[in-house]
Structure 1
Amino acid sequence: MKLVRFGEAGRERPGLVDAGGVVRDLSALLPELDGAALAPASLARLRALDPATLPAVASATRLGPPLAGVGKIVGIGLNYADHAREAGVDLPAEPTVFLKAASAITGPDDPVVLPPGSQKTDWEVELAVVIGTVARRVSEADAPGHVAGYCIGLDISERYWQLERGGQWTKGKSFDSFAPIGPWILTADELPAPRGLPMSLSVNGARMQHGDTGDMAFGVARLVSYVSGFMSLLPGDLIFTGTPAGVGLGLVPPRYLRAGDRVEASIDGLGRQRHEVVAG
C-alpha cells in the first residue's frame, strides 16, 4: 500500500493511493496515520479494503507528510562509500548515528526554508525507514519485522551549523522544513528487500545525486538492529539511512542552496519530492 496524508498543513487527513494513482480518503475509517496506525493488525485491515469504495480526493489537493506524531528521526551519516570519499573520510567501522528534530518534518512539495543568514544549506536524498512495532535490542534477523514501510527522506543540512560551530550535528540538521518526507509510505510487504532502488536529486534541473540503495554500507536490518541497541525505536519513528555522493559540500567549488532554487528528489517506487527554496 501507498499511505498518504492530504490537506492543508496542520489539518491533514489519512489516505491511500490506489492502483490508478488516485488518492482515496481513509478518514472515516482511520483517525490519523500515525504510529498506532502502523501496527500489523491495523495495516492488515487497510489491506483488506477495496480502495474503489473510498471517496476520491481531488487531484490538486496538497499532500502533507505521510506520517503524523513522529517521535524521533534517527540519522545515519557516511553510509555510502562515494559520499564518504567526497567528504574526505573513511567509511566508519560502525554506523554513525545522530538525531534530527521531528519538528523539521514537512511535506513532499512544501518549501525548504533557509534559516536566517544561511550560507551553506545542503541537500541529501535518503531512504527513510518507518518503524511499525517497538524495537528494543533486536537482532538483524528479527529487525525487518519491526519495519512498517519506507519513504523518501530529504536530509537538509546547514553545514555551517553542523560542522563549524562545535558540538554534534543535530543543530545543523533540525531547522524547520529540513526533513521533508513522502509523498507516501510504501508498506514493507511491497518492498521486502529495499536494496537496488535508484535514487536521485537535482537542483534547478541539474542532476546532483544519483545512487542506489544497494550501495549502503550498512543495510536496513543492520541499522534497525544497531540503533535499537542504544534506544527504543517506537512505532512512527524514522531512520534516515544516509545519502550517496553529490551533495553540495562535495562539489568543487562547493555549491549550496539559495532562495529561488528548486530541488527535486526521487527514489524508485517511493515517488518524487519537489521543493522551492525560500528565505526564512
Structure 2
Amino acid sequence: MNTACTALIAEDELLLAESLRADLAELWPELQIIGMAAHGEAALEGALRLRPQVLFLDIRMPGMTGLEVAQALAEDWPDGQEGDPPFPLLIFVTAYDQYALKAFEQAAVDYVLKPVQRERLAQTCARLQTALQQREAASSVQQRPADSGAMDAVAQLRQLLAAPGVPEALGLPAASAKPLRLLQVSVGQTIHMVPVSDVIYFEAADKYVRVITTDKEHLVRASLRELLPQLDAQQFWQVHRSVVVRADAITRAVRDEAGKLSLHLRERPERLAVSRMFAHLFKGL
C-alpha cells in the first residue's frame, strides 16, 4: 500500500532526525518530508505554517515538550472551514519505559521508541497509510467535519495526560502536595505579598506570567508550566495553554455561533477564550 503524504519531523538530536528521515525515505518513498524542527516552538510554528499530514514529535525537546506542541497545535489548528487541511496524524518519538508506553497505547496514540527500529517504524508507516486512506474515504463522502482530527487528538491527549504518573514520566512538573497560598512579587526594591485567593487569572506573557487581581496586575518571572502544579486544581482551572482562571471568579461560559467558548468574569471586564483542549470543563447540568 503506497500513499503520498507530507510530514514534518521534530527532533532536537540532529543525527537521530537525519536517521529517521533516511529510514522513512526507504520505507515510504512517497512520503515527502517538508520540514525539520530542532525544538518545540519551531515544531509548532512549522506545523501551523506547512500543514503536514503527519507529524513526528520527539517527547523531550528544548522549550516545549512534544506533548505541549501537540496540545498547542490542537488549540491553534483551523476550525474546519471549507478548504482547511485536516489535523495531522501524530507519532511520538520517545525513549520512555513501558509504564509510560502503556498510556500511549491506551490513548490510541502511536509512538516509536529510540533508537528507532526499522521493523517498528515500518509498522507505523503501514498504520499511517491506512489511517490516511480511511480519512480520505471519509472526507470524500463528508462523513466527518474537517476539524474532527483535532478533536480526536484533544481527546487522546487528555486521556494520556490524565493517566496516573504519566505527566511526571514524560518530564512534566508534578502537582505540589501543598498548593501555593501566597505569591511574593518583586517590584524594584519592594516585595508585594499577593494572596493566591485574590488572583482572578494567570496569563503567560513571554518569560513572565501576568497575575491579574480585581484591580491590579503583577508580573512574576516564571513560566505557567512551573506555576500550574503549585496551584489548587479544584480552585484554578486551566482553560487555555496560556491562561489559568480561578473557577469561582467565572460567572458564565458563552458559546458563539462558531462553537467557541468565552468566559465572563465576576470582577473583570475582559473575556477569556477557552480552547478545544479544555472545553470539556464547561458542560451544563
Quick check: which has more Rg, 1 or 2?
Answer: 2
Question: RCO (CA 8 Å, sep 6+): is it higher in 1 or 2?
Answer: 1
TM-score by length of 1: 0.24
Normalising to structure 2: TM-score of the pair? 0.23
